[in-house]
C-alpha cells in the first residue's frame, strides 16, 4: 500500500502525485532532444522546467547529473536511464493508439489524469476532434497557463474537466459537453498505480457506462515489482542523493498503491464488454531500442503492460 496517500489528498504540480507529471515531462524532453527520438514533444521541457519540483526534474533533465550518479552507483544510473527509455516508449505507444483511433473516425478523446500530457497541443488531430482533459484543478491551470503565456495553442478543441477522479467526474465530464452517444478514445496513462484496487475497478466501470459502441480505451497497468527489489533500489537512490547533496522531498514508491488484489486490466475489460489485448512493456522497449537492464525481473507480472481495447 501507499505510505503517503489518503482518500482525500490533493496536490498541485509541485507536490505529491502532481510532481510525477513533471518527471514524465522531463523524460519526454530528454527523448525529444536525442538524435534519434521516438517521440517529439516540443513543450515538455518548457512544462518541466517551470514547475518548481526541484530534484526530480533536475535528475531527469540534466545529463551531467546522470553521469555523476553513474560514477557513484552504476545500478542507480541504469534505473534512471530505464525510466527515461520507458517513458519514451510508453508515449510512443499511446501516440500511435490515438492515431489509429482517429483514423477509425473517432473524434472524441478523454485523457484521464492528464497531468502535463501535451497531446492536445502537439498531435496532428483531424478537424472536429475534441480532447477532454481530466485532472486536479491546479495541475490543469498550470499547464494551460504556462503554454498560453508562451504562445502555444491547442491543435484540437481542448476542454478542461477540473476534478479529482475519486469524485463524480462522469457528471463533470458530461457537463463540459461530452457526448455519450458517439465513440470515444480513452486514455489512462500513468494513472492506475496511483489508485487503490477498488478505485481502479470503479474507474473502468464509469468508462464502460460512458462508452458508446466502437469506443476504445488504452491503459498502462500498475507493475508488480517485488518488494525486495523496490527496497534495494530505494536504498541505493537515497545513498546517491546524500552523496550529491540532493534533497528528496518525496519518494515515488510512497505515492503508489501496491495492492495485491488489483484486477488484471485486460481480464476485467474482457469480462465487461470490451475486446482487450495486453502488450508487455519490456517487449516494447526492446522493440524500440530503449531497453536498459535493471535486474528487476522479467516475468510477465513484474513489468507494466499497455492494454488496448475496443467496445463491442
Nearest Cα residue to 263 out of 192, 168, 170? 192
Q: Is residue 6 part of a domain?
A: no
Q: Is residue 232 part of a domain?
A: yes
Taking 50 as the threshold, does the pLDDT of residue 299 lie above it?
A: no
Domain range spanning residue 96?
A: 18-311
User: What integer pLDDT is reported at residue 276 of this predicted model?
Assistant: 98
Task: Please classify residue 135 by burial: count the beta carbons closer than 10 Å to its beta carbon, then call 0-12 exposed, 13-18 middle and 19+ buried.
Answer: buried
Query: Cell 494513472 belongs to which residue?
Result: 191
State whether residue 82 is helix, strand or coil. Answer: helix
User: What integer pLDDT is reported at residue 277 of this predicted model?
Assistant: 98
- The enclosing domain of 188 has a CATH number of 3.40.50.150
Taking 50 as the threshold, does the pLDDT of residue 300 lie above it?
A: no
Distance (Å, whole) CA 122 – CA 135: 19
Q: What is the pLDDT of residues 49-93, one digit of tens each?
A: 877 665 655 666 777 777 888 899 988 888 888 888 999 999 999
The separation between the first and the last C-alpha atoms of the chain, rounded to the nearest angstrom, is: 34
Q: In whole angstroms, how far apart are CA 216 and each of 58, 238, 311? A: 36, 41, 6
Look at 230 and 301; give whichever has higher pLDDT: 230
Give the mean model confidence (pLDDT) for residues 2-7: 55
**C-alpha cell recorded at residue 287:** 522493440
Distance (Å, whole) CA 51 – CA 173: 26
Domain count, the chain: 1
Q: Is residue 2 part of a domain?
A: no
User: What integer pLDDT is reported at residue 8 of this predicted model?
Assistant: 62
pTM of the model as a whole: 0.92
Q: What is the pLDDT of residues 86-103, one digit of tens each?
A: 999 999 999 999 999 999
Distance (Å, whole) CA 50 – CA 13: 10
Q: In whole angstroms, how far apart are CA 222 and each of 57, 68, 212, 215, 290? A: 22, 30, 26, 23, 20
User: What integer pLDDT is reported at residue 225 of this predicted model?
Assistant: 72
Look at 276 and 23; give whichever has higher pLDDT: 276
Q: Is residue 105 part of a domain?
A: yes
What's the mean per-residue pLDDT of the chain? 88
Look at 33 and 13; give whichever has higher pLDDT: 33
Q: Is residue 11 part of a domain?
A: no
Kindly state the DSSP code that residue 295 receives in the 8-state scheme: S
Q: Is residue 40 part of a domain?
A: yes
Q: What is the pLDDT of residues 243-272, one digit of tens each?
A: 988 776 666 777 778 888 899 999 999 999
Residue pair 158/129 in contact by the 8 Å Cβ criterion: no
Q: What is the pLDDT of residues 166-216, one digit of tens each?
A: 899 999 999 999 999 999 999 999 999 999 999 999 999 999 999 999 999
User: What integer pLDDT is reported at residue 226 of this predicted model?
Assistant: 73
Residue pair 191/217 in contact by the 8 Å Cβ criterion: no
How many helices and strands in the chain, by DSSP H and E?
12, 7
Q: What's the angle, vertex CA 61, arms to CA 60 and CA 66, rounded to 5?
A: 60
Taking 70 as the threshold, does the pLDDT of residue 111 lie above it?
A: yes
Q: Is residue 3 part of a domain?
A: no
Give the mean model confidence (pLDDT) for residues 299-311: 82
Distance (Å, whole) CA 288 – CA 99: 18
Query: Cell 466502437 belongs to which residue?
Result: 214
Distance (Å, whole) CA 189 – CA 166: 16
Residue pair 277/308 in contact by the 8 Å Cβ criterion: yes
Q: Is residue 10 part of a domain?
A: no
Q: What is the pLDDT of residues 132-144, one digit of tens each?
A: 999 999 999 999 9
Residues 6+ away with beta carbon under 8 Å from 83:
23, 27, 60
User: What integer pLDDT is reported at residue 310 of this predicted model?
Assistant: 98
Amino acid at each position: 500500500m501507499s505510505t503517503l496517500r489518503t482518500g482525500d489528498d490533493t496536490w498541485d504540480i509541485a507536490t505529491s502525485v502532481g510532481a510525477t507529471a513533471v518527471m514524465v515531462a522531463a523524460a519526454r524532453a530528454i527523448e525529444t532532444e536525442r538524435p534519434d527520438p521516438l517521440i517529439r514533444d516540443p513543450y515538455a521541457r518548457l512544462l518541466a522546467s517551470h514547475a518548481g519540483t526541484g530534484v526530480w526534474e533536475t535528475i531527469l533533465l540534466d545529463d551531467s547529473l546522470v553521469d555523476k550518479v553513474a560514477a557513484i552507483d552504476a545500478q542507480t544510473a541504469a534505473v534512471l536511464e530505464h525510466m527515461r527509455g520507458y517513458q519514451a516508449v510508453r508515449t510512443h505507444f499511446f501516440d500511435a493508439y490515438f492515431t489509429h483511433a482517429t483514423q477509425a473516425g473517432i473524434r472524441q478523446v478523454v485523457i484521464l489524469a492528464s497531468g502535463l500530457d501535451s497531446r492536445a497541443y502537439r498531435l496532428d488531430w483531424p478537424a472536429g476532434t475534441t480532447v477532454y482533459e481530466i485532472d486536479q484543478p491546479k495541475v490543469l491551470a498550470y499547464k494551460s497557463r504556462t503554454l498560453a503565456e508562451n504562445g502555444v495553442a491547442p491543435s484540437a478543441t481542448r476542454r478542461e474537466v477540473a476534478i479529482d477522479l475519486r469524485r463524480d467526474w462522469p457528471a463533470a465530464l458530461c457537463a463540459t459537453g461530452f457526448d455519450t452517444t458517439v465513440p470515444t478514445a480513452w486514455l489512462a496513462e500513468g494513472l492506475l498505480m496511483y489508485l487503490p484496487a477498488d478505485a481502479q475497478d470503479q474507474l473502468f466501470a464509469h468508462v464502460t457506462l460512458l462508452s458508446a459502441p466502437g469506443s476504445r480505451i488504452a491503459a498502462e497497468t500498475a507493475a508488480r515489482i517485488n518488494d525486495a527489489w523496490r527496497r534495494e533500489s530505494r536504498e541505493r537512490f537515497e545513498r546517491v542523493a546524500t552523496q550529491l547533496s540532493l534533497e528528496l522531498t518525496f519518494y515515488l514508491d510512497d505515492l503508489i498503491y501496491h495492492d495485491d488484489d488489483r484486477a488484471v486490466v485486460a481480464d476485467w475489460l474482457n469480462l465487461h464488454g470490451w475486446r482487450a489485448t495486453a502488450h508487455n512493456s519490456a517487449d516494447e522497449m526492446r522493440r524500440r531500442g530503449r531497453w536498459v537492464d535493471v535486474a528487476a525481473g522479467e516475468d510477465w507480472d513484474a513489468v507494466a503492460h499497455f492494454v488496448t481495447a475496443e467496445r463491442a
